[in-house]
A = this chain, B = another copy of it.
Amino acid sequence: MNRERPIGIFDSGIGGLTVVRAIQAALPAERIIYFGDTARVPYGPKSQVTIRKYASDDISILMRYQPKIIIVACNTVSALALDVVEHACGNIPVIGVLKAGAKLAVQATKNRRIGVIGTQATVSSNAYACAINSLNPEIEVVSQACPLFVPLAEEGFVDHPATKLIAREYLSEFSNAGIDTLVLGCTHYPILRRVIEETIGQGIRIIDSAEAVALRTKELMTESGELNPFRKSFAPHLLVSDLPQKFSRLYQLFMNSELPDVELVEV
């Protein structure tokens, strides 16, 4: 074990940068290597077979950098292909954003009714409900796919009346469900957190799965003594499979900082 090895994080695109940001806040002395599969994004609307193939490609790219831990920032991969990632990683610990979010939601709920929003693939997989019920079988989970939230976030329509209308439609599913906790089960959704909070109403605790996975990573690495001993902060090392025109604008939207150097890799 080498405590100076990086934390490896991957996602279908740039949504996982919300996880990078949360990890940087929780563990500022860690090196981060991030891969975003921007050439094939989004994964959410695609089939399980294709998502599993892509997850296998993604992890083989990250493994070249000998990470000490792997974080699956993509909820869709966490839901449908976590075993593919675990198998490829051998002894390296793997943390999926989904289980971390589910665990935090279970800790948060008082009335045992949790809402989950995510992509079509994540919601159809029922993986959040499974993860939550494996921790507490008495919790009721109500899920809703919100397919337009990713393109709306990527367009920067964070405060647009159309986004509010669409949020109202998607989240109306929860109006009579009596939930007290809502999991943002897609790494893009924190970008729309304010409109989601306003629409869902007061008194419902929002669980950001990016924050949840950062907490879980800190816990795990503290227990195993794998924290980087140096007290220096590093810019993340970014790998992408495509570098589209809007990348720099999106990076700023997600990270609130200027784009560092980015490396293009082939998938």
Contacts and interface: CB of A to CB of B under 8 A. Distances in A.
A108 B27 CA distance: 61
A234 B12 CA distance: 38
A162 B151 contact: no
Contact of A244 (B47, B154, B163): B47
Interface residues of A, number: 32
Interface stretch (A37-45, A60-68, A195-203, A224-232): A37-45
A162 B161 CA distance: 8
A166 interface: yes
A40 B267 CA distance: 12
B161 A151 contact: no
Number of copies: 2
A244 to B, nearest CB: 5
A151 B124 CA distance: 18
A46 interface: yes
A255 interface: no
- Which of A38, A50, A150, A160 has the most CB atoms of chain B within a 10 A radius of its CB? A50
A173 interface: no
Nearest to A241: B50
A217 B223 CA distance: 67
A156 to B, nearest CB: 10
A77 to B, nearest CB: 15
Contact of A166 (B40, B162, B169, B241): B162
Contact of A124 (B46, B47, B245): B245
Interface in A146-164: 147-148, 150-152, 154-155, 157, 160-163
Contacts of A46: 38-39, 242, 244
Contacts of A161: 165
A39 B48 CA distance: 11
Interface string A25-41: 00000000000001110
- Which of A157, A162, A169, A246 has the most CB atoms of chain B within a 10 A radius of its CB? A162
A243 interface: yes
In the A-B complex, the 8 residue pairs with the smallest Cβ-Cβ separation, listed nearest first, are A162-B162, A151-B151, A162-B165, A50-B242, A162-B166, A47-B244, A39-B50, A46-B242
